[in-house]
Amino acid sequence: MSTNTNFNHNMFSLNINAAYFVIMELKREDHDFHFHIDTNKYDEDVIVHIFKNENVIEIIAFKEGKKYYKSIEGENRNGNQA
């Protein structure tokens, strides 16, 4: 079994924890939000896709302990305009 020695588990933990708190905060605001979380085994980045009524309204990326927003309101799960 091969492991990636460059993977920073502490940074991944920080990013996934930050994503969790953002999701909990948004869920308190509106129960109609749905979330999809992307991670991979090659880097520590965590990406959260936020959906409302089957449309992506925002993507938040957590990289190197920082939060980056991309608002794409109006696209559905297939990337087409609603």
Domain coordinates of the chain in residue numbers? 9-76
Report mean pLDDT in 10-residue bins for the chain, 82 residues.
73 96 95 94 94 91 92 58 46
Question: Dmax of the chain from CA atoms?
Answer: 44
Distance between CA atoms of 60 and 76, rounded to whole angstroms?
A: 16
pLDDT of residue 70: 87
pLDDT of residue 3: 58
pLDDT of residue 1: 44
Distance between CA atoms of 5 and 34, rounded to whole angstroms?
A: 34
pLDDT of residue 36: 96
